[in-house]
Amino acid sequence: MQGMFGQLINLFASVLLLLSFAMLAQRRVVTLIDLFMLQGATLVAATTVVGVVTHQPHLYLSAALTLLLKVALIPWLLHRVIRQLNVRWDVETLINIPTTLLLGIVLVIFAFNLALPISQLSSSVARGTLGIALAGVLLSFLMMITRSKAVSQVIGFLSMENCLFFAATSATYGMPLVVELGIALDVLVGILILGVFMFQLRERFDSLDIRHIEKLKED
């Protein structure tokens, strides 16, 4: 039975990694938010499966909290922000998409080799997912440093947090509930602050390109 659940969690991990690659290659902001929402739904499913396997009720609460924040509330807030900012452009990348994807493949190989000795020490049913979670973190970080728009960088940060949460859930059977609630609150507050930042950036420079921040330093 645990073998079947382990394969199911590995499947969710693979979907999470594919969605990270899709986000890395995506140019449209609206589609980027939808991919993040799918990533959150995958995280909810994986957390629920781990809760069933380990019989830990707090994981069900974690899944419900993730569903509320990552699948419903945060995507809705991001869609509302881009509507109010009248964002109709595609995402601008500092490096072209094919080169970015090649760098992503290199990061995935690096992550798997780095996580291999660590995952062998784990006794969880899904210890092999640690490499995938680390790869997702690196891909999200790559998306943040190769995009010049504030919205895509916010989504990259949230995607990184998703992958870290998945690693904690699948490899160690979750964090203490008080820590999860604290992280969820921090993420929500961070989104609100970043929303205010994007509105101020748009009002001052009529653009969401974060390279305009350098002009503030010169002033």
pLDDT per residue rounded down to tens, the chain (219 residues): 556 777 888 889 889 999 999 998 888 888 888 999 999 999 899 888 888 887 888 788 888 888 888 888 888 888 887 777 666 555 567 788 889 899 999 999 998 888 877 766 655 555 667 888 889 989 988 988 888 676 777 788 888 888 888 887 776 665 555 455 555 555 665 666 565 555 555 555 555 554 544 454 444
Residue-level pLDDT at 218: 46
Helix pair angle (57-66, 150-172), 10° resolution: 170
C-alpha to C-alpha distance for 57 and 42, rounded to whole angstroms? 19
Residue 178's pLDDT is: 46
Q: What is the pLDDT of residue 153?
A: 77
Would you state the pLDDT for residue 19?
Answer: 93
d(CA 187, CA 157): 10
- Tally of domains within the chain: 1
Say what the pLDDT of residue 180 is. 57
Q: Which residue in 182, 208, 204 sits closest to 195, CA to CA?
A: 208
Residue 7's domain comprises: 2-218
- Distance of alpha carbon 43 from alpha carbon 47, whole angstroms: 6
Total residue count of the chain as it appears in this document: 219
Q: What are the residues facing 160 on neighbouring strands?
A: none
**CB-based contact 43:165 (threshold 8 Å):** yes
Rounded to whole angstroms, how far apart are CA atoms 173 and 156? 24
Give the integer Cα–Cα distance in Å for 50 and 117.
22
Question: What SS3 class is residue 96?
Answer: coil
Question: Do 120 and 131 contact (CB within 8 A), yes or no?
Answer: no
The predicted pLDDT at position 216 comes to 44
Q: In sequence order, what are the beta bridge partners of 147? A: 93
Distance CA 43, CA 27 (A): 23
Q: Is 216 helix (H, G, I), strand (E, B) or coil?
A: helix
C-alpha closest to that of 23 among 101, 80, 111 = 101
Give yes or no for a contact between 139 and 160, defined as CB atoms under 8 angstroms apart.
no
- pTM value is 0.79
